[in-house]
Amino acid sequence: MNFSPPLRALVADDEYYARQRVIQLLDGVPDFHVIAESENGHQAVEGIREHHPDVVFLDIQMPELDGFGVLETIGSDKMPPTVFTTAFNQHAIHAFECNALDYLLKPIDPDRLHLALERVRNWHRKAKANDVQAQLESLLAMVRQEEAHLKRILVKQDDHHIILKTSGIQWIEAEDNYVRLHVEGTSHLLRMSMTSLLSRLDPEVFRRIHRSSIVNLDFVREVHPWFSGDHILIMKDGTKLTMSRTYREQLKELV
């Protein structure tokens, strides 16, 4: 009797417990073997290039380089079959169903994981490499088109998620590997870098005024000169933010 070697998996997620959840669930599956884990997108790229896994479990929302960035960096022609792990809304999940090998919605359900593993097994049995490449290319094209400028953002709050309209975000500040979104007297943490988030917001509305601050121009009430070429922006709710001289010229283009 011929026995096939276990499928070699790489697990990439910047949240330790989410990553360990996938690893522990895979430990109980005889025909899958975790060969590497990555805690950010850059490590995922290195791990894929070094280990050439049979399947990648890839978190979408990672700071600096997210899951889509990993896919673009590796290239759809060289990317292994990919199972996305995500907390995206239903519209995005539908896109994954149509264009990716599979997705897992966090928190990951064991039964749902086993369905994803069966899809991975079927893919390897049929070895439809061209089909997966076409699916990944289609997914990237859809992401670029649908999310050129974010109109809504899904953020975690306690044990659930809420949807924020980007038009209601007054200003954004950097907080380690997160950004804090200020909305109507409340704030929400989002696991994303300032640079990554700014690239997905409408530049006619959102502008960076400091290395740690982005403002929604619709909520700026006043601009006052300050020391050393800096300015103070007073928001409609009275919040005062510093605009460093490095960023003042791009603001002049719009006001």
Cis-peptide into 107, omega within 30 deg: yes
Average confidence (pLDDT) over 66-87: 84
Tokens of 54: 């049979």
Where does residue 71 rank: exposed (0-12), middle (13-18), buried (19+ CB within 10 A)?
buried
**Do the domains 7-146 and 152-252 sit in the same CATH topology, yes or no?**
no
Q: Please, are residues 131 and 138 in contact by the beta-carbon 8 Å criterion?
A: no
SS3 percent helix, strand, coil of the chain, rounded to 5, is 40, 30, 30
Q: What is the mean pLDDT of residues 159-181?
A: 88
Lowest-confidence segment of 48-62, 96-110, 186-200 by average pLDDT: 96-110
| Topology adopted by domain 7-146 | Rossmann fold (3.40.50)
State how far the Cα of 140 lies from the Cα of 120, in Å rounded to an integer.
20
| pLDDT score recorded for residue 228 | 81
The proportion of the chain whose per-residue pLDDT surpasses 70, expressed as a percent, equals 83
Report H helices in 14-64: 16-27, 41-51
pLDDT over 50 (residue 253):
yes
Q: How far is the C-alpha of 12 from the C-alpha of 19, rounded, in Å?
A: 7
pLDDT of residue 196: 79
- Domain residue spans of the chain: 7-146, 152-252
The fraction of the chain above a pLDDT of 90, given in percent, is 40
Which tokens hold the place of 132? 């997966």
Closest CA to 11 of 1, 25, 30: 25
CB neighbourhood size of 101 (10 A): 23
pLDDT of residue 138: 62
pLDDT interval class at 2 (50, 70, 90): very low
CA dist 171 and 225 (Å) reads 20
Q: What is the band of 126 on the pLDDT scale with cuts at 50, 70, 90? A: confident
Q: What is the DSSP letter of 212?
A: T
Q: What are the C-alpha distances in Å from 169 to residues 92, 109, 219, 222, 242?
A: 21, 33, 9, 18, 18
Rounded Cα–Cα distance for residues 12 and 43 (Å): 8
Please check whether the domain covering 152-252 is classified as CATH 3.90.1170.50.
no
Give the list of residues 6+ apart from residue 245 with CB closer than 8 angstroms, or none. 228, 229, 230, 231
> Residue 196: what residue type?
S
Phi, psi dihedrals of residue 44, rounded to the nearest 5° = -60, -45
The token pair that represents 237 in the structure block: 């709710």
Q: pLDDT digits over 141-161, tens only?
A: 655 555 567 788 878 777 777
Token digits of residue 68? 């889509």
Which of 35-44, 73-82, 106-115, 130-139 shows the lowest per-residue confidence on average (mean pLDDT)?
Answer: 130-139
Counting every residue written for the chain, the total comes to: 255
Average pLDDT over the chain reads: 83
Tokens 């490095």, located at residue:
246
Give the model's pLDDT for residue 193. Answer: 82
